[in-house]
Chain A
Amino acid sequence: MTTDDEGGRDPLYAVAGLADLALDRAGAALRGLRGLLGRSDLAELARDGQDELTARGRLLVQRHAATPEAHLELLARRAAARTDHARRDDV
């Protein structure tokens, strides 16, 4: 993830943040359903929506930055470097 350009990331985080929020709301709604007329977190979430979205966005940026590289990518680079090296030795 270190090689990615920053510019392309914003829309991704916005979408992910919204989806993240939507899923949490779904969870709150499900909990609300279980309690039937009990207090639902949905309304509270809606009130704080703007602030929460911003905070979530920030968290997502941090979490996303920590996503590890595909392990196979690390191996493929090793394998490619080895092949290049062998080719240079042949010349």
Chain B
Amino acid sequence: MPYTPESMDALRLVGDELADATVETLFERGEVGKFNTLMRSFTQVGQDLPEGLPEVAHEYLRATSAPPDWVDWDEMEKARLFFLHNNVHISTALSFASMPACYVVPHVARLLSATHSLDYPSRRMAETGQFTVYLMRPDAFEAGSRFIPAAQKVRLLHASIRHHLAREDRWDTARLGVPICQEDMIGGQMMFSIQVLDALHRLGIPMTVDGAQSYYYAWRVVGAMLGIDLAHAPADLDAAREFSDLYMTRHMGPSEEGARLTRQLIDLYEQVVPGTLLDPLVPALIRYLIGDTAADWLDVPRSAWDTAVRAAPVLLGALERLEDSSPLAARLLDRLGELTTAFELSSLTRGRVMQYAIPEHLKDEYGVKATKPATDRWTPPPLSLRI
């Protein structure tokens, strides 16, 4: 189904019926406080639902307690291995390409600024990072899973933002449509999926067709669980290119809020990177990944590092070669990847969440290894002709 400005406009008017109805009822009955208190302890699949939970919440949690029945689990396992293999690079792309991509869409930046709890990117980043780590655990969809409750809560959080913004008259619905509408949710899905693959490509990370497709597939599953209507979500990477390009060119531009959020993101990472010598590396990496035009819109500072950071693909390429040539080096680099993710996340959450390790059960038990046959290397589809 080709995407057009008109079809995208129609998506601006649609939210998430199930979650919206749940939140509306909770507010109407004054049960939001009770719900939040009771749900604080509900973090894992298989746990009994807290006693006294409002009936409407019960219904919502029942309806969303399982992944979609069409999920291809082999594909999900491939996605997990792709994530394991590219752990550090994906974290880098999420931090320095996906987050600025959110900020360069002015109404998204405005929404992130307007919602109190999302004001500081550290929390947003930690939530995104934590969410991804939960998703990529081998038991993500089984008893004990933390991913499904996290997805159920994020979906309600989005619905509550819609509820508040609409009622507090802080959102120009006539001009912008529904807050966190289907177009924006799918747009966000694109930032965390195909735009991450774009960033990996820009960093010179080799990807297989299989790996890229399965990574995208995992985000399609996540999108469905977060209330995206699959009838409109791009089915594959070619459709994703089309949607992503049209969405970005329709909306991207400068904004005060975007620049402020970017400044906060840079400050945050400068605090995370030890010492001050490497501080300019963060803005340089953002500029490299999103390009000068968007970086200027977001007031990303320029520095001498802007040139040096262009060696990143060469350096990362060298690391990849090293990894391929020596099993010992591969193990060391895998370990380094785990440590980097743990370090990034624990810095962002200031140590509040303790368990970030991504278990490698299948790798150990079955000797499965994410291999990268050179013959089917994936490169992102070119610029959409529809924009």
Q: Residues of A with Cβ closer than 8 Å to B?
A: 1, 8-9, 12, 15-16, 19-20, 23-24, 26-27, 30-31, 33-34, 60, 63-64, 67-80, 82-83
Q: Which residues of A contact B291 (CB under 8 A)?
A: 69-70, 72-74, 76
Q: Within the complex, what minimum Cβ distance (angstroms) separates B287 from chain A? A: 9
A-B pairs, top 7 by smallest CB distance, nearest first, are A73-B291, A76-B293, A70-B291, A16-B311, A23-B318, A27-B322, A71-B198
Q: Residues of B with Cβ closer than 8 Å to A?
A: 97, 101, 104, 195, 198, 201-202, 204, 245, 248-253, 288-294, 297, 307-308, 310-311, 313-315, 317-319, 321-322, 325-326, 328-329, 332, 380, 383, 387
Q: Within the complex, what minimum Cβ distance (angstroms) separates B65 from chain A? A: 37
Q: Which residues of B contact A15 (CB under 8 A)?
A: 308, 311
> In this complex, what residue of A is CB-closest to B191?
A72
Can you report 26 A-B residue pairs in the complex whose CB atoms are below 8 A from each other?
A19-B311, A24-B322, A26-B322, A27-B322, A27-B325, A27-B329, A31-B325, A31-B326, A63-B313, A64-B310, A67-B204, A67-B313, A70-B198, A71-B195, A72-B97, A72-B291, A73-B290, A73-B291, A73-B293, A73-B294, A74-B291, A75-B249, A75-B383, A75-B387, A78-B387, A79-B248
Q: Which residues of A contact B383 (CB under 8 A)?
A: 71, 74-75
Q: Within the complex, what minimum Cβ distance (angstroms) separates A19 from chain B? A: 6
* Selected contact of A83 from candidates B253, B319, B328, CB within 8 Å: B253
* Most chain A CB inside 10 Å of its own CB: which residue of B289, B293, B314, B326: B314
- B252 lies within 8 A of A12 (CB): no
Q: Within the complex, what minimum Cβ distance (angstroms) separates A59 from chain B? A: 9
Q: Which residues of B contact A26 (CB under 8 A)?
A: 322, 329
- B314 lies within 8 A of A79 (CB): no
> In this complex, what residue of B is CB-closest to A34?
B328
Majority secondary structure of chain A interface residues (helix, strand, loop or mixed): helix
Q: A19-B318, A24-B322, A79-B248 are in contact. Are A73 and B292 (CB under 8 A)?
A: yes
> In this complex, what residue of B is CB-closest to A8?
B307
- B314 lies within 8 A of A20 (CB): yes
- A79 lies within 8 A of B202 (CB): no
Q: Which residues of B contact A68 (CB under 8 A)?
A: 201-202
Q: Which residues of A contact B332 (CB under 8 A)?
A: 30
Q: Which residues of A contact B289 (CB under 8 A)?
A: 70, 72
Q: Which residues of B contact A27 (CB under 8 A)?
A: 321-322, 325-326, 329
Query: Whole-angstrom distance between the alpha carbons of A70 and B308 in the complex?
Result: 16
Q: Which residues of B contact A1 (CB under 8 A)?
A: 310
> In this complex, what residue of A is CB-closest to B203?
A67
Q: Which residues of B contact A80 (CB under 8 A)?
A: 253, 293
* Most chain B CB inside 10 Å of its own CB: which residue of A16, A27, A72: A72
Given A31-B328, A72-B290, 14 more contacts at CB 8 Å? A19-B318, A20-B314, A20-B315, A24-B318, A26-B329, A27-B326, A69-B291, A70-B288, A71-B380, A72-B294, A76-B297, A77-B293, A79-B248, A80-B293
Q: A23-B318, A33-B328 are in contact. Are A79 and B311 (CB under 8 A)?
A: no
Query: Whole-angstrom distance between the alpha carbons of A8 and B311 in the complex?
Result: 13
Q: Within the complex, what minimum Cβ distance (angstroms) separates A4 from chain B? A: 8
Query: Whole-angstrom distance between the alpha carbons of A45 and B97 in the complex?
Result: 37
* Most chain B CB inside 10 Å of its own CB: which residue of A9, A30, A60, A71: A71
> In this complex, what residue of B is CB-closest to A15?
B311
- B314 lies within 8 A of A76 (CB): no
- A34 lies within 8 A of B315 (CB): no
- B202 lies within 8 A of A70 (CB): yes
Q: A24-B322, A26-B322, A27-B325 are in contact. Are A63 and B314 (CB under 8 A)?
A: yes
Query: Whole-angstrom distance between the alpha carbons of A77 and B292 in the complex?
Result: 10
Query: Whole-angstrom distance between the alpha carbons of A83 and B297 in the complex?
Result: 13
- A79 lies within 8 A of B288 (CB): no
Q: Within the complex, what minimum Cβ distance (angstroms) separates A39 from chain B? A: 15
Query: Whole-angstrom distance between the alpha carbons of A64 and B288 in the complex?
Result: 13
Query: Whole-angstrom distance between the alpha carbons of A20 and B310 in the complex?
Result: 14
> In this complex, what residue of B is CB-closest to A80?
B293
Q: Which residues of B contact A70 (CB under 8 A)?
A: 198, 202, 288-291
> In this complex, what residue of B is CB-closest to A33?
B328
Q: Which residues of B contact A83 (CB under 8 A)?
A: 253
Query: Whole-angstrom distance between the alpha carbons of A19 and B322 in the complex?
Result: 12
Q: Which residues of A contact B97 (CB under 8 A)?
A: 72
